[in-house]
A and B are shown apart, each in its own frame.
Chain A
Amino acid sequence: GAGVSQSPRYKVAKRGQDVALRCDPISGHVSLFWYQQALGQGPEFLTYFQNEAQLDKSGLPSDRFFAERPEGSVSTLKIQRTQQEDSAVYLCASSLVASGTEAFFGQGTRLTVV
């Protein structure tokens, strides 16, 4: 596609609900990253995929967070039993090869847990 696409753009969840956030990277991009951006802060790294392999998940804040990219293209970030502190913008980025090259970001999904 023309750019990184994320859906939904906005999500309101009741505390305790499970949510799934989708990322469609640029076609052919090998690397895919998820970031969490709290209000007034910079994005913080969550996890990294190279094709379908999740090579780094060190930034996932708890075992309620799970990400997958089963066919090496579309990725889903799932948050189980959402808590208020999960409220943030979740950003997806893709790049042609590994880091050090330009990463293209989607517009993000704004998650509000009430």
Chain B
Amino acid sequence: GNSVTQMEGPVTLSEEAFLTINCTYTATGYPSLFWYVQYPGEGLQLLLKATKADDKGSNKGFEATYRKETTSFHLEKGSVQVSDSAVYFCALTGGGADGLTFGKGTHLIIQP
């Protein structure tokens, strides 16, 4: 079956630091890949997505590239801000009429 593994948190960084949150997946076929973010007190929001190999998703300064050869979709940002503090979830869907498979989430804390 499908599964997503992402790095354990919490990850604590200083403002303006470089961010990487690792995500690897196991799936049959050709999944679509997503990063969702959950800010304190809010619901899950789609941050970015990629639907085929070598696609790069980007939003709000965050990027992730769909790497089929390494089955990875690592999230990166060049300079984080305090407002980026949240829980980040890597997820995939196998296509068709199935739901999302999520990783366990990575809690990111940015200190001023």
Contacts and interface: CB of A to CB of B under 8 A. Distances in A.
Interface of A: 4, 31, 33, 35, 40-45, 48, 50, 55-56, 59, 91, 93, 98-100, 102-108
Given A40-B104, A108-B43, A35 B99 contact: yes
B97 A103 contact: no
Contacts of A40: 104-105
B98 A48 contact: yes
Interface of B: 4, 32, 36, 42-46, 49, 51, 89, 91, 93-105
Contacts of A108: 43
Given A40-B104, A44-B102, A105-B44, A98 B49 contact: no
Contacts of B43: 4, 91, 105-108
B105 A48 contact: no
A99 B93 contact: yes
Contact of B97 (A42, A98, A107): A98
A100 B105 contact: no
A56 B89 CA distance: 23
A37 to B, nearest CB: 8
A44 B103 CA distance: 9
A15 to B, nearest CB: 27
Contacts of B46: 102-104
A24 B80 CA distance: 35
Contacts of B89: 42-43
B8 to A, nearest CB: 11
B105 A41 contact: yes
Contacts of B91: 42
Given A42-B105, A100-B32, A48 B96 contact: no
B5 to A, nearest CB: 11
Nearest to A103: B100
B44 A50 contact: no
Contacts of B98: 45, 48, 56, 99
Nearest to A97: B97
B93 A48 contact: no
